[in-house]
Structures are given as C-alpha cells and as structure tokens.
Chains A and B, each alone.
Chain A
Amino acid sequence: MTARVGIVTFPGSLDDRDAARAVTRAGGEAVPLWHADRGLRGVDAVILPGGFSYGDYLRCGAIARFAQIMTELVPAAAAGLPVLGICNGFQILCEAQLLPGVLMRNHRRRFIDRRLRVRIEDTGTPWTSGYRPGQEITLVLKSGEGAYLADQATLAALEERGQVVARYADGNPNGSARLIAAVRNEPGNVVGIMPHPEHAIDPLTGPGDDGLAFFTSAIGQVVAG
C-alpha cells in the first residue's frame, strides 16, 4: 500500500502541480482536491500548496479559509490528520487558526525568490521525521508576505513547547520573528512552512533534493501505520 496525499487547489493556487510531483517522487499517490469539494476523498494527509489563492485579495489566505474544503479540513486536522501548508498554504493555516501567528509583508517590501539554508529543529512531526535534529538543508524561498510574526507571549510559548519546526540558518531573509521558517500546532500533525520543500526534490530544477524528506517522512509514517 501507499499513502494517498490530497493536494488542495484553490482558485489561484500555483504550486499544486509541484506538490503533486513531490508526493509522486516520494512514492505516494497525489490526490487532487478541489476547493469546493465536500469530503476529503479518504486521503491520509493533506497539502495546502503555494500560490495566490483568490489573488491574495483582502489578505493572503483570508478568503481561502472560508472555502468549503476548509470546513472539511479543520475538524480532520483536529482529529490528527497530517496537514502541511507551504507558503500560501501556511498563510491559510494561520488565517484558519490551525497554526498560531501571522505572515506579513517582507521587511524590504519586495517579493524574493532565492535559495537559502534552513535548520530543521523539530523532527517529531509527521513531515520532518526523516531529518536529523539540527540538520541544515537548502530550500527555495519565494514569497512577498513571508515574515512570520506573533506577539511575544505566543512566541515564548512556541519556543517553550518546541513548536518551531525550522529556522532560517543564514540570515533573516524577510524579517521573520526569531528566524522562524516553519511552525507546528501543539500535537504536531499540522505544519506550516514558508520556504518550498516541493521545489527542492531534484537538482535539475531546484537547489537539490533536500526537500524530499518532507514527503517521504509523511508517506513513510502512513505506510508504517
């Protein structure tokens, strides 16, 4: 058997195709999910991909959180379904309050697309179990509103509970608090990450294949049952 990983397409999702390719490369079955769908088609995990859902109008992710699929996803996530939000998907998870904090405009107020180093700090999530604690990997960051911010109490609580999944390891590219690149919810099944692991699965088209373990981790866990 293999894991069935749902990839949600909202109007304006862009990296859905890339997320599906990453799942396939990792040995899983990518299952397309449409924003207006009822039900999650029995998938074992869900990825909210990058892009500009609903044109990022109003505020990134603010409209997507009201999509029908989110009505299905929120209780499933609460029940422990592994969910990964990448870039715009991370923004949607924050807007839906599945993750704490917000993502704001980059501190230099420009979109940036660059490769950078990211340190994996929490390997206890279904998406990062294939990494070593403290392992540094190279990913692509591409976003205009990627600065992770939260109030001091929230940040302190995140640190205390070990909910910071990854940090930027070679400088602060966008003004994120405490260099935070990825966080998880308290149980750990929901992870949001700003850089794109799905764009680091093949040296031909990305900075290498350091991102693949996000997908093999989750798929491996499902298969192991």
Chain B
Amino acid sequence: MSVTAPDTVAAAAAADRPQPYAELGLTAGEYQRIRDLLGRRPTDCELALYSVMWSEHCSYKSSRVHLRQFAEKAPATSALLAGIGQNAGVVDVGQGYAVTFKIESHNHPSYVEPFQGAATGVGGIVRDILAMGARPVAVMDALRFGPADAPDTARVLHGVVAGISFYGNCLGLPNIGGELAFDPCYAGNPLVNALCVGVMRHGDLQAAAAAGEGNQVILFGSRTGPDGIGGASVLASASFGGGEAAKRPSVQVGDPFMEKLLVECCLELGAAGLLAGLGDLGAAGLSCATAEMAAAAGTGLRIQLDAVPLRDPALGPAEILMSESQERMMAVAAPADVAAFLAVCGRWDVPATVIGEVTGTGRLQISWHGELVVDIAPQTAADGPVYQRPAARPASQDVLAADDPARLPRPSSGPELRATLLALLASPGLADKTWVTQQYDRHVRGDTVLAMPEDAGVIRIDEQTGLGVALATDGNGRYGRLDPYLGAQLALAEAYRNVAATGARPVAVTDCLNFGSPEDPAVMWQFAEAVRGLADGCQFLGIPVTGGNVSFYNQTQEVAIHPTPVVGVLGVLDDVRRRVPIGFAQPGCQVVLLGTTAAEFGGSAWAQVAHGHLGGRPPSPDLAAERAAASLLAAAAGAGLLAAAHDLSDGGLAVALAECCLAGRTGCRLELPGDPFTLLFSESAARLVVSVAPGGEESFAELCQRQAVPATVLGQTGGDSLAVTGQFAVPLAELAGIHQRVLPALFG
C-alpha cells in the first residue's frame, strides 16, 4: 500500500477485483457477508477493519451463544455498576468506592515472543481498567507452562516472568498473586492470563462511547507503528501449526514508561472533567476503538487517518487501522475542552492529536489524505457474526472416567506417607514460587496487605477506614479434562474459598476461558460444559460474572490444551486489619480442619506426581458447603478468632499444612481421625485448615456449629516440625529445603 494510491470507497464501488480475505483470516462466507452489508466489495481498509473486528478474539463469534448464560443466570445484585460488555465490570464496594477488575489472556503472543507477549499482556489489561475511569492498583498473573524440565519451558518461562517483571514493576503496580502450573498439555501452548484491579469513586465511571455530535476525537499515547498488525486475527484466532517465528511481527512491543504517563494523564483528564468518552486501543487497535465507541453511542465518526502520528512513515492506511501498537488511548472531548485536554497531555509529555469528530450520520467514515477509504455502519463491525458451532462429547471421555485412581497403589506406612508429602512438595507445581514472585514488586503504592504465597492478594483501598479487596485466581486443567462442567465449578469454588480464607466476602467473578479450537466439536463441547458449569455455580453462590475473556485456538495441530477456565474472584474486606494470613506464626493455637473429606483422587496432585495418572472423576464440588464456610470465615475473622486460615486444594491437607508451617515458621503436632492417606492427600472441595487464636476455641466451635460447617480439631501449632502422631514428623528445615530448591534448580 502506498500513500499515493489508496483504495477508495469510490474505487470499490466502481470496480470489483479479487481480495486476500483468507490471508486476513476471514472465511468465504464472512467475506460474502461483508460484500452484502456494503452492497459492493470492501476497500482494502474496510477489509482490514472487518478482518480484525470479526476475528474470534474480538467478536466472540463462537462463544457468544454460550456466554449469554452469564447474563441470563446472573444473580440479582445491586452491587454491579457496569457488567459484561464493558471494558471491565464495576462493583460497588461501599463507602462511595467502586472496584473494577478483569482477567485476560495473552497466550499466543507469549509463546511466539515470551518477553514482549507477557509484558504487553499486562499493559493491555491495565488499559482496560483505566478506560473505565479507575486507577489501576494491582495486577496478578496466572501462568501455565509445559513440563518444568522441558528445554522450551525454560525459554518461555524466563521470557514471560521477565516480561511481567519488566512491565509491571516499571508501571508501578504491585503484583499480588496468581498461579504457576506445569503440565505437558501446555508445552506448545502456554497460558499467560493477566488480571488487573482498579479503584474509583462512584462518579468517576467513564463511558467507552463517542457521544455528542461535534465532539472531537483525540488519539493520545504512543505513536502508531508496524507492531502487532493482525495480532487479534492472525495470531490469537488460529491454532499453531509450525513456523511460529514468522508470526513475531504480529506481537506487540511494550513501553511501560509511556503506560505510566498515560495512566496519570488519563486520571488527571478525568478529574478535570475533560473526558466525554474514553476507550483503550487493544486488540484490533484503531479499528476497534472507532467502531465500538461509535456503535456504543449510536453516532457516527469522521476520522482523518493521515493525522495519526506514526513511528514509521511508510505505514499505509490499512496497516494503521490494524496496528496494535501499545500504550494508546482514544478520547472524545467537547470542542471547548480540547485546548485544556492537550495541555494536560503536554504536562505528562504524552503525545495527543485530534484525529476526527463525532457526527450524526451513524457512519464510520475514515479518510486518507482527503479520500474516503472507509464508509461503514459501525455496528456491523462491532457485532460480527455469531456461530452455533457443533459440539459433541467425545467417546474418549468415558474411557477417561472409567480409569479410576482407586486402582493405584497407595502409601500406607508412616515413612511412605512422609515420602509422599516430600515428593509432592518437590514437584514444580507445588514447590515454593519465590523464584518467580521475587521478581515482581509487591510493595509499590504501599497498600499491599497480603500477597503471594497467601491464598489471595489483599489491597487496602481506604487508609482511614481500612476498606480493602481480596483477589484470587484459580484453575485446574486436569479437573477440567476429566469433567469440564465440574472443572469450571471447582475453579470457581477454589477462588471463592481462597478469597474467603482471608476473611473477605466474595462479591464478583471474572473469567479467562482457555480452550483449544472451537472448530473441533469435542473442544466446543468442553467449552459449552465449562460455561454452563461456571454460570450455574455463580448463580448458586450469588456472585455475578462481570467480564472476562475467551481464548480459543490454544492448540498445536490436533493437540488441544486441557480445558482450562481460570476464575478470578473479588472479595471485600470492610477492614483489612482483620485479614487472616495462611502462616502458623504463633505456637499454642488449635488447628482445625473445616469441611468433609472423602476419598477423592481423580485429577489429584498425588495421582499426577506419584503415578503420572489422569483419570476417574474430579472431586465433587459442594457449593452450599463453600458458601457456609465463607460465611463462617468472614464471621470468625471479623471477631478476631483466627490466627491463620488456608484453603485445601492441590495436594490436600498435607501440602496445605506444610505451607502453613513454612509461611509462619512454626510447626504443628496433629492426630488424624481416620485413614491417614485419605485425610492427608484427598482433594475434596469446600475444606480449609485454620488455627484458632488462643482463647477463641469455644466461640469458634459455636460459630462452626451455627453455620453447620463440620469442624475437626486436629491438634496444636508449635515446635519446629510438621508432626503427625503415630505416622511421621518432618523438621521445618527439611521441608523448607525441599520446597525452596526446586525452581532455582530448574531455572537458575
């Protein structure tokens, strides 16, 4: 494409010619639909715009028919100030504050170019939060890689962790938690899911809409370059099939310093009342921002594309429309406010340019050096096609379910149980994560009350009242593989429980749905089941899904990842000084197991680590029990009865106890009432272990009874070993050594 000879609307109306729609990721049917909508062939620019807007990543064309359940089954709540369909959901947390949060995938770019892929994943989700009018206050990352000892895992993991560290630290957002998991199914398709949370006053909410005829459209932030062209379509909406290095130009490049300036600049613009509308430029760049903001307001836009400041003057109009250059925002401002707007940008050294205006035509009209190159109804680009893809439960599912872990040999003697615990703690997925988390700044902004390895990150919002939020993300692809419906509910239950363990009241959900190709009916069945499970679970627990993201095509040729819904739960703490940590820090506290333990080993960490086994049924979620335990925890934390609380998940009670002891550097001595193997390693849901503050034992027992939460006293904290009477004892120094040396030995 050259500057001198753009393909214009007039030329498209006058003469037909073959167009490269397939190379841009459009099907023949989609291309025909564009022609029908326009009544002519699209121009080069229009074709580019539709190709990115109608990509799976931007249009949710395969998932939308399923995602509707999140709205249809949403529990009635007055706490939601903005829901699904916005950049991010907004939740009222009281005292005039609102919190917005969202999780999003950056999986494909992070495999092709791990450092920039992961870095710009952070940048993108932060701009989503910023676009709502909120100040971003923390980030989290849920990471999944191939086997820890596979050579390519080291390449991807080093790059991803360094990219998150580089971008998040420089941006000044504390990283307060997340996940790190390893499984062969992620070897060619790592999952990099980034979450951001932001805080605002109720009145600060911004609309991503281009309202008000005559208002000016301002593009501000970084200049537009040739990076990330087709990121949403070519990269994120197709499976890998070899030759991924050739896709590197589709990965964006991040500048966290510009993002920091953009954050401060946007917040100042909002505070000064200079924003009539605000949107971020993410996937599909300027195409998406213009089409969606016009569609949201039901207005038209007239854009002079040649006014867009460029990093590379050779870029043509279609490339500018498709570029996913980072650190850019688009705002709409009243003509009288433009001078003040540009002055604020100038103070922050943020380049800002008026590129067009809002019209009453209902058309998105884009010109290039005076010639019209796009003339479409914006809604047609913003809506996209909707597919009801075929879904079919694969027969292999029955074979998997029949392969019950009951047949696996189990440890029984004390020394065998001890060795099993140590083997689990030495497995990369359960080992100490400090090697990773130490590379993230958790302290910046000075409001981090809890961060990894705690169950949930806790951020203080108001220094006077102590109001704060807790956030956790969880997912378990192995459970999802065994049963996607239950797997999604177990992910929800675990994140909910993790938030509750800090003493917070869970209030809202965000999700990142990571799956293989939607064109495979087996994958589509997994997806449909997972969405149904999650929607049913949220309905039961009374907490709405406020937003999130779908990542399809996480597969290489025919091999898809395990269905991996990652669920983020937001909770509210009225006073963060009442938060409960996981560590046994004080001797002489009663240790109590909450919940009911059954012999549930399908998909368990024990089956994986000891036998390399995946089969049978996952644990049964018990959402009523989760809800009861959460109420109990909130009441007990509020009354100051708890010294520590930790949820039981991968590796069961044994791993949880080891983590409690190591986090607080205090041992415990326990007796197990029942089959020690089942009690120690089963992964039954809806369970926690707590230590009760001395003197609070009776009150806590009464509270358990009132909430009908089964409580089993196991023993006491104290000493310098994890000791199970009649079975085994492991000195804390030995536990720590095994737990802590795994990741440094693997990754340097």
A residues bordering B, Cβ < 8 Å? 11-12, 14-15, 17-18, 21, 50-52, 54-57, 110-114, 140, 142, 144, 196, 198-199, 204-206
Check A113–B446 contact: CB distance below 8 A: no
Known: A17-B445, A56-B257, A199-B446. 8 other contacts (CB 8 A): A11-B349, A14-B260, A18-B444, A18-B446, A110-B438, A113-B437, A142-B441, A205-B446
Which residues on the B side are within 8 Å of A198 (C-beta)? Answer: 446
Contact B257 A52 (CB under 8 A): yes
* Residue with the greatest number of chain B CB neighbours at <10 A, chosen from A17, A52, A112: A52
Could you write out 21 A-B pairs with CB less than 8 Å apart? Answer: A11-B261, A14-B444, A15-B172, A15-B444, A17-B446, A21-B463, A52-B170, A52-B256, A52-B257, A55-B258, A110-B438, A111-B169, A111-B440, A112-B439, A113-B439, A142-B169, A144-B165, A198-B446, A199-B443, A199-B446, A206-B443
Are B439 and A11 neighbours in the complex by a CB distance under 8 Å?
no
Q: Hey, which chain B residues are within 8 Å of A52, CB to CB?
A: 169-170, 172, 256-257, 260
Beta-carbon contacts of B608-630 to A below 8 Å, as 1s and 0s?
A: 00000000000000000000000
The answer to whether A12 and B445 touch across the interface, beta carbons within 8 angstroms, is no
**A57 contact set on B, CB distance < 8 A:** 257
Query: Is the CB–CB distance between A113 and B260 below 8 Å?
Result: no
| Distance A51 CA – B165 CA, assembled complex (angstroms) | 13
Q: Across the interface, do B443 and A140 meet the contact criterion of CB distance under 8 Å?
A: yes
Q: Is the CB of B442 within 8 A of A204?
A: no
Q: How many A-B contacts if CB must be within 8 Å?
A: 84
- B170, A56: Cβ atoms under 8 Å? yes
- Rounded to whole Å, the gap between the CB of B438 and the closest CB of chain A is 5
B295 CB to closest chain A CB, in angstroms?
A: 35
Cβ-defined contact, B446 with A111, below 8 A: no
Instruction: Report the separation of the CA atoms of residues A206 and B174 in the bound assembly, to the nearest whole angstrom.
Output: 13
Per-residue contact bits, chain B 432-456, to A (CB 8 Å; 1 contact, 0 not): 0000011111111111110000000
- In B461-475, the 8 Å CB interface with A consists of 463
* Complex CA–CA separation, A198 to B348 (angstroms): 25
Among B438, B441, B442, B448: residue with most chain A CB under 10 A: B441
| Chain A proximity mask over B152-168: 1 for CB below 8 Å, otherwise 0 | 00000000001001100
Contact B444 A11 (CB under 8 A): no
Residues of B within 8 A of A205 (CB): 443, 446-449, 460
Whether the Cβ atoms of A110 and B439 lie closer than 8 Å is yes
Q: Is the CB of B444 within 8 A of A142?
A: yes
Distance (Å) between the CB of A55 and the closest chain B CB? 3
CB-CB under 8 A for A55 and B438, given A18-B446, A142-B443, A204-B577: no
Smallest Cβ-Cβ distance to B175: which chain A residue:
A113
Task: Please indicate the chain A residues that have their CB under 8 angstroms from the CB of B255 in the complex.
Answer: 55
Within 8 Å of chain A (Cβ to Cβ): is B576?
yes
Q: How many Å lie between the Cα of A111 and that of B166 in the bound state? A: 8
B438 touching A112, Cβ below 8 Å: yes
A56 to B440, CA, bound (A): 17
Shortest Cβ distance from residue A121 to the other chain B in the assembled complex, whole angstroms: 24
Q: Encode B256-271 as 1/0 by CB contact (under 8 A) with A.
A: 1110110000000000
Distance A14 CA – B170 CA, assembled complex (angstroms): 8
- Report the separation of the CA atoms of residues A14 and B447 in the bound assembly, to the nearest whole angstrom: 13
- B260 to chain A: which residues have CB within 8 Å? 11-12, 14, 52, 55
C-alpha spacing A113/B460, complex, angstroms: 20
If A55-B257, A205-B449, A205-B460 touch, whether A113 touches B170 (CB-CB below 8 Å) is no
B257 touches A54 (CB 8 A): yes
Contact partners of B441 in chain A: CB under 8 A: 111, 113, 142
B257 touching A11, Cβ below 8 Å: yes
- Please report which residues of chain B, range 342-394, place their CB below 8 angstroms from some CB of chain A when the two chains form the complex: 348-349
With a cutoff of 8 Å between Cβ atoms, the chain B residues found around residue A51 in the complex are 172
Q: Inside 8 A of B165's CB, which chain A residues have their CB?
A: 110-111, 144
Residue on B with the closest CB to A202? B446
On whether the beta carbons of B257 and A196 are closer than 8 Å, the reply is: no
Judge whether B438 and A114 touch: CB under 8 Å: yes
Which chain A positions have C-beta within 8 A of B449?
204-205
With both beta carbons as reference points, the residue of chain A lying nearest to B166 in the complex is identified as A111
The winner among B441, B446, B463 for most chain A CB atoms within 10 A is B446
Q: Which 8 interchain pairs have the tightest Cβ spacing?
A: A55-B257, A14-B172, A18-B446, A52-B170, A199-B443, A111-B165, A142-B441, A111-B439
Cα–Cα distance between A77 and B443 once the two chains are bound (Å): 29
Task: Provide the bound-state CA to CA distance between A51 and B100, in Å.
Answer: 25
How far does the alpha carbon of A17 sit from the alpha carbon of B267 in the complex, in Å?
Answer: 15
